[in-house]
Structure 1
Amino acid sequence: MLVALLLLVVPGAIIARTAQLTWPVAVALGPALTYGTVALAILPFGALGIPWNLLTAVVSLVVVTLAVAGLQAVLGRRATRPPAGHPITVGPALVVAAGVVLGAAFITFAAIRGMPHWQSIPSTWDAVWHANEIRFIVDTGQASPTHMGELRNVETHAALYYPSAFHALAAIQCELTGASATAAYTLNSLAASVWLFPVSAAALAWHLLRSRGVDQWRTAGSAAAAGALAASFTSVPYVEFDTASMPNLVAYGLAVPTMILVVSALRHRRRIPLAVLALLGVFSVHITGGVVTVLFVAGWWLFEGLWRPVRGRLADFLGLVAMGAPTLLLLLPQFVGVLQQAEIIAGHEFDTHQGKKRALFDAVVQHTRHLNDYPIQNALILLSAIGFVILLVRRMWWPAAVWLLLVYAIVHSSAPFGGLVGRVSALFTDLFYSDPRRLSGVVTLLLAPMAGIALFTIVWAALTGLRRVMPRLGARTGYVAAAVLVVAVSVGMAWHYFPRHRYLIGEKYDSVMIDDKDLQAFAYLESLPGARDTLIGNANVDGTAWMYAVAGLHPLWTHYDYPQQQGPGYHRFIFWAFADDADTDPRVAAAVHALNIRYVLTSTPVVRGFVMPDGLVSLDKSTSWKQIYDNGEDHIYEWQGK
């Protein structure tokens, strides 16, 4: 995981340091800038036929670094306003770092204990697609998000957009270390989970308090507490990891640092190129993360920036345009691809059928889909509520406004409003697949810093009161006592919620869909003549799509795809529905030849609630197919027809 973490942070941190940002800021922004560099390269590389690999990745990093250095020299000639406060000093920076490392350690411990067999094949729905996409990039060098139809639409290669920056970076780890696609998928997911959310919580707590003139040491205490407590919130990273929504998870972790960079660039105009790069990165990992970033920036602008302008309302607005316009231009090909899939995204529905009052309660206390499998995190919700009030007392309105909008969105997603109100609400909630789970993850990005601010404020107030009673209690002793109390509460919270978090991280690494017998079948199939040069017929309901990520064999379906075939492909449908009728249906032979199928692999079990496609149920009864392998779970058939 260390290599994955270094790949995530170091390239972007180099770029940030080139732009003369301090080391703490560079490390916090590193992941967003890393993915921005990846995104800037893979789209034109894909269009021009330039392979994405370790060499071209290094060249991309060098080019972007030099470009940033050049832009800094040009923009540096124009005067910029002095910073609103002093840059973070060494002492407070170390305090914040300690909190972030503590939070990261909690998540790492949950992963170590929850995933003793981390190299096994996960059983989650989307994991197979992510691993296959990584393998596809390694094999072909094609990492453009607009070319993923070449992997998904096996028969027609029809265009398909799918965000691929996460997978492209994981592919570099495969080439650099020799890791398999499945291992790279797991390790990159863990690295993002461990690092991004403690950093995000600490960064937002720092930003909120420093904007109100709180001194660095007290701000650092709150930020450190937020970083440590971030590991105790179940929604992110644990639920998102459990559902294998990895690009979404990573993009959420990038949203807050990117938002802070955008806001700071209004004062420091030389940061505008970095802001564009970071925005490109978060949108290219997953568009919902970009939406979160824009939502936070818009909330800040409406409830903070308009009333406390940095350079003036018009100048600030033009600064936002200067960042938004080039980002939009760079993302245009991706947005076009997303619009072509808008109906699929809007088709998601998660109505709980429990009414709006219950939906409101669940939204407020973070007890939505998946989270409601466990008791409410009462202590964390209480701390967050106190932090919420503290921000209101300090006249920090935008987090409350964004929180209210998100709560409303969760209510609509859980119990949809009708009429015009419902249609307008859906325009926003559909950006999150109208999924209360995804929206709750965004809420957590606000709650974690609120909880950290509340915890440190309570501890500091208690120690201040104690010093009034005991005047001899020195300042240094007070600082040590505050640190001990914050650490104790953070450890206590992490330990209290440890069982659920350990379970959620490791739940799907259970060898249910793919076990040793499946791996043996893959190995046997790989040894057969022509297996690597032909398409392997398979089902879209069992785990056989993993044959590509694991063994490099090319399946007819590279993802679960049930109850009906998604995407184009006449011959693929004929095979799916009628393969075992090959003796009497000439369309099957035509499909087999058109698809270049020689072998078929089926496996048990199938995904819960699914059934094997009709065309693959009775292959052993057809003289056109000969069973050549059976280990009790997996069956391999060879085409015997004409």
Structure 2
Amino acid sequence: MLSVCVAIVVIAVPGLLTGLAAGLRGWALAGLAPLLSYAIGGLTGPWTAAVGWSFTPVTYAVSTVVFAAIAYGVRKLTVRRWAPEPEPGLWARRGHIAVGACLLFGAAVGFYATLRGLGHIGALPQGFDAVYHGNAVRYIADTGDGSLFGTGHVNWYGNAAPVFYPNAYHLLAATTYRLSGASIPATLDANTLLLPGLLALSLVTLVREFRGRAVLAGAVALTAVAPVVGVYESMDRGPLLPFALGVALTPLAAVALRRYLERVAPDTGFVLLLAAVGLLCIHSSTLFGGILFAGPMLVQRWLSGWRRIGRDLLALLPIAVASLLVAWLQLFGALGLATGDVPYYGWPSEWRASTALGALLGFQHYEAHPQVWLSVALFLGIVFFARAGALRWIGLTAGVTGLAYMAVASSNAPIVMALSRPWWDDPYRFFSMAAIPLCVLAAHGLASTQAWLRDHLPARVPAVAVAVVVLLGFVALSNGLYFRSNGARVYTGYQAADPSKLRVTPGEQAAMEELGKLAAPGEWAMNDRFDGTAWTYALSGVRTVAGHFDETLLPRDALLLADRFRDYRTDPEVRAAVQRLNIHWVILGKPSTEPGKPYQPGLVGLAGEPFLKETWRNSDAVIYRLLP
């Protein structure tokens, strides 16, 4: 649990200090703090790398002081020249307490569901993407390289083209890793466990900002952690950790945007700037997701007063310019990736559009059963939609993101693939984005049901009692917010009934950790790309020839050794590549069971070769020392 506590501090404290200095208070401060922290870290890493400095916990702390000082100065300037009026009250004290209780309960349920899936803190994620994130966190922690191309060096080194990847997630995770002393898997898991709670906090902040009732805020804290397609699927598949983080924080785009447009001033503009840049620093697609989510808010705003259009666009212009200047490293890196040599194939369509619509309404992707009580709450939200008030725009957001999912899930048309490129044309990601506004509508259904019952029951029945019955009833009917089925979904990404069937087996993990004890600093190991040993660097600090399962645009030396390493004694090119990479070890795990991906040709039949000495073995892996 230490890693979880440290992760909370790393994610919360810098944003809290900066937000407080910028004039944020209450729920807005609590909700926006994580996004501000990721903006601070996500900007600090690349810019310190650009000037030749290392990113460390000290660097992160110093940058927090700098950002907080800037925020304080901007706030002072604002108060002096454009004194803001106090924000009107909304909830009574007991309303705040009740919402806080719902938030803590929802976050605890999401935490527990995730932990059930993980099995324990420190479980190794088994998916294709996880190894990149694990190695990236270790790379930043070991080297201090916070650049946007640095994390890719673990797999794309030498003559390989550098690979861009937004790294705010990895920068803060590396800080957690160094401060906590936990393993890389435990560091990743600590951040993963917080995702449901972060989403619930973001949506509570959204409801508060748009002046929704406390009952609605409490309801959304519960519905946020219930759908399997919200963040749990992203934990299982990939896991898509930066994307899932971005989804959890996306609603804050609307919060920061509304605060700025309601009071155009330097302090609110500074917060909007950091919010937009923070989304971009987490993942390039997250900024686009924030635009999809918050754009409908502008539609509702402009329909209520068309004269606002010009004023709002003019007010947003300096924010756009400042964002371009501050985050040009991220923007140009993303453009370079989109126009570079990395191939874009997209994902195949899943099913017909009508089936995709049914999946949306049932909160059911590939799960065996729909989440019926969420669907009932969503139905009630649609019935009572006219009561949504300042949040009516969320219906348009649900429509836009839902139609986007239906298009991606049912079509591979060129226009669909082009528009969905920031998300790699991935139906899973679009379903996750569509689930967020649907959660708000479901919460609106619960809150409106409470209001209807309050108005039709005898006056002697307290409104608070009605709210408690409705919300507890939803928790009970949904079997504890579906924590069992959600945990079961996470389980398949981390565990198996037979651990020997995992992509990275416990035996392979033990071998990689053992290699860390055997190898001297700077020594590399030859390994297979498709067994589990691509995790070696994250687990032991020993660099390997294959640092990812990905086969795209690999270095020349990696291709050569994968094909001809077994000819080490007789092939001068192989010996030269071994010398260039300082390879002293060979580690082999269980061959991949995927069709067409056994050991690579250069690693077949190494047992008994005179240039290798076996130094360690278990049932799943073997380590050889390379002899001169």
TM-score, L = length of structure 1: 0.89
What is the match of residue 386 of structure 1? 380
Please, which of 166, 170, 174 is the counterpart of residue 169 of structure 2?
166
Match of 2:74 among 71, 74, 83: 71
Higher mean Cα deviation, 552-561 or 394-403?
Answer: 394-403
Cα pair distance change 1:544/1:13, threshold 3 Å:
same
In the alignment, which of 455, 476, 481 is matched to residue 464 of structure 1? Answer: 455
Letter in 1 for 2:417: A
Equivalent residue for 1:539, pick from 525, 528, 534:
528
Q: 1:608: how far off? A: 3.7
Distance 1:23 1:205 in 2: 13
Flag the 1:2–1:324 CA change in 2: closer, same or farther, 3 A.
Answer: same
Q: Which residue of 1 aligns with 2:64?
A: 61
Task: State the alpha-carbon separation in 2 of the partners of residues 607 and 294 from structure 1.
Answer: 41
* Counterparts in 2 of 1:107 and 1:494: CA distance versus 1, 3 Å: farther
Deviations 1:286-320 (A, max 9, x none): 1222111112232221x212223598332211222
Name the amino acid aligned to 2:61: V
Identity of aligned residues (%): 24
Aligned counterpart, 1:487: 472
| CA distance in structure 1 between the aligned counterparts of 2:343 and 2:483, rounded to whole angstroms | 34
Aligned-residue RMSD, C-alpha:
2.5
1:504 to 489, 512, 515: 489
Paired AA for residue 312 in structure 1: R
Which 5+ residue runs of structure 2 have no aligned equivalent? none
Q: Does the 8 Å CA contact 1:201/1:448 hold for their aligned counterparts? A: no
Decide which moves more: 168-177 or 23-32: 168-177
Counterparts of 1:48-127 in structure 2 under 5 Å?
A: 48-79=51-82, 82=85, 85-86=88-89, 89-127=92-130
Pair 90,50 (structure 1): closer, same or farther in 2 beyond 3 Å? farther
Q: How far is 1:124 from its partner? A: 2.1
- Contact 1:583-1:624 at 8 Å conserved across structures: yes
2:451 equivalent to 1:436: no
Which has the larger displacement, 244-253 or 499-508?
499-508
> Contact 1:106–1:494 (CA<8 Å) still a contact in 2?
no
How does 1:99-498 map onto structure 2 within 5 Å?
A: 99-156=102-159, 158-191=161-194, 193-208=195-210, 210=211, 219-243=213-237, 244-268=239-263, 269=265, 270-301=267-298, 303-309=299-305, 312-342=308-338, 344=342, 346-352=344-350, 354-367=351-364, 371-392=365-386, 394=388, 398-416=393-411, 418=413, 422-423=414-415, 425-467=416-458, 471=459, 473-474=460-461, 477-495=462-480, 497-498=482-483
Q: Distance in 1 between matches of 2:285 and 2:160?
A: 26
Q: Which residue of 2 aligns with 1:576?
A: 562
Pick aligned residue for 1:518 from 508, 512, 519: 508
SS at match of 1:97: helix
Report the Cα offset of residue 445 of structure 1: 1.1
Deviations 1:571-627 (A, max 9, x none): 210101121233554432232223222211110152644322121122226444444
AA in 1 matched with 2:233: V
Structure 1 residue 541: Cα displacement: 0.8
Q: Distance in 1 between matches of 2:223 and 2:192?
A: 20
Comparing 313-322 with 153-162, which one deviates more in the overlay? 153-162
Q: Matched residue of 1:120: which SS?
A: coil
3-state DSSP of counterpart to 2:225: helix
Q: What amino acid sits opposite 1:322 in the alignment? A: P
How far the C-alpha of 1:363 sits from its partner, in A, is: 4.1
The one of 530, 552, 575 equivalent to 2:541 is 552
Q: How far did 1:82 drift?
A: 4.9
- For residues 551 and 50 of structure 1, the distance between their equivalents in structure 2, rounded to whole angstroms, comes to 25
1:380 and 1:527 mapped to 2: Cα distance? 50
> Does the Cα contact within 8 Å between 2:122 and 2:183 map onto a contact in 1?
no
Q: Does 1:598 align with 2:598?
A: no
User: Could you say which residue in structure 2 is the equivalent of 1:633?
Assistant: 620
* Partner deviation per Cα, 1:61-85 (whole Å, 9 max, x = no partner): 1110010010112233343675785
Deviations 1:255-309 (A, max 9, x none): 11132111211122221101111211111111222111112232221x2122235
How far apart, CA to CA, are the structure 2 residues paired with 1:623 and 1:186? 42
Distance 1:237 1:632 in 2: 35
> Are the structure 2 counterparts of residues 614 and 438 from structure 1 closer, same or farther at C-alpha, using a change threshold of 3 Å?
same
Alpha-carbon spacing, 1:607–1:129, altered in 2? closer, same or farther (3 Å): farther
1:182-227 CA-partner distances (Å, limit 9, x unpaired): 2111101212x1321111232333445x2xxx6xxxx110110111
Q: Distance in 1 between matches of 2:410 and 2:217?
A: 36
- Cα separation, 2, equivalents of 1:345 and 1:88: 52
**Structure 1 residue 397, shift from structure 2 partner:** 5.1
* Aligned pairs, number: 613
Paired residue secondary structure (1:30): helix
Partner Cα separation in structure 2 for residue 349 and residue 629 of structure 1? 41
TM-score if structure 2 supplies the norm length? 0.91
Distance 2:53 2:150 in 1: 13
In structure 2, how many angstroms separate the alpha carbons of the residues matched to 1:180 and 1:404? 42
Q: 1:537–1:556: 8 Å Cα contact kept in structure 2?
A: yes
What is the identity, as a one-letter code, of the residue corresponding to 2:607? D
SS at match of 1:637: strand
**Residues 80, 267 of structure 1: 8 Å contact kept:** no
Residues 140 and 607 of structure 1: CA distance in aligned 2, closer, same or farther (over 3 Å): farther
Counterpart for residue 34 of structure 2? 31
Matched-pair contact (CA < 8 Å) for 1:68–1:273: yes
Distance 2:429 2:580 in 1: 41
Q: What is the identity, as a one-letter code, of the residue corresponding to 2:297?
A: W
Letter in 2 for 1:64: F
Name the SS for the 1:373 alignment partner.
coil
Contact 2:110 2:483 in 1 (8 A): no
* Runs of 5+ unmatched residues, structure 1: none
In 1: Cα distance, 2:255 partner to 2:603 partner = 53
Following TM superposition, by how much is the alpha carbon of 1:531 offset from its aligned partner in structure 2, in angstroms?
A: 4.3
